[in-house]
């Protein structure tokens, strides 16, 4: 599988995950609207608030991942995909296979590197 195919497959998975999470979030919000749960005093209210917060965070993460995927496709189209944004050397194929959204080589991504 080449880079374009890998990115497109990941994009499709992310879009599906985002749709599912968005449905879950809307269902939680609708359920909380239909109850008289008082988050502060009702034991169920705290659970609903926690679920809403957790699913909301997952929705934001999926959206951010989709944004990063789109940026990777833009780099691919521009011919800069696989080139380290830190030092300009090619990013190892093994790294791109594991982290297709990688913007930096392993050396530049290492902790303590400036």
What is the structure's pLDDT at 40? 54
d(CA 39, CA 29): 13
Would you say residue 107 has pLDDT above 60? Answer: yes
Query: Where does the pLDDT of residue 31 fall: very low under 50, low under 70, confident under 90, or very high at 90 and above?
Result: confident
d(CA 3, CA 73): 9
Task: State whether 100 and 58 are in the same domain.
Answer: no
Query: Where does the pLDDT of residue 61 fall: very low under 50, low under 70, confident under 90, or very high at 90 and above?
Result: very high
Average of per-residue pLDDT across 38-52: 67
Higher pLDDT, 3 or 38: 3
Task: State whether 8 and 48 are in the same domain.
Answer: yes
Would you say residue 38 has pLDDT above 70? Answer: no
d(CA 99, CA 93): 10
Task: State whether 90 and 67 are in the same domain.
Answer: no
Average of per-residue pLDDT across 85-89: 95
Task: State whether 33 and 72 are in the same domain.
Answer: yes
d(CA 95, CA 93): 5
The number of distinct structural domains making up the chain is 2
Task: State whether 59 and 33 are in the same domain.
Answer: yes
**What domain range is 107 assigned to?**
82-114
């Amino acid at each position: 599988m080449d880079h374009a195919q890998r990115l497109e497959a990941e994009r499709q998975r992310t879009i599906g995950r985002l749709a599912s999470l968005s449905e879950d979030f809307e269902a939680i919000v609708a359920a909380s609207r239909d109850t008289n749960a008082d988050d502060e005093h009702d034991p169920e209210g705290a659970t609903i608030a926690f679920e809403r917060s957790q699913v909301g965070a997952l929705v934001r993460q999926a959206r951010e991942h989709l944004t990063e995927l789109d940026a990777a496709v833009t780099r691919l189209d521009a011919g800069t995909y696989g080139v380290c944004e830190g030092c300009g050397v090619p990013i190892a194929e093994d790294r791109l296979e594991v982290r297709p959204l990688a913007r930096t080589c392993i050396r530049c991504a290492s902790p303590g590197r400036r």
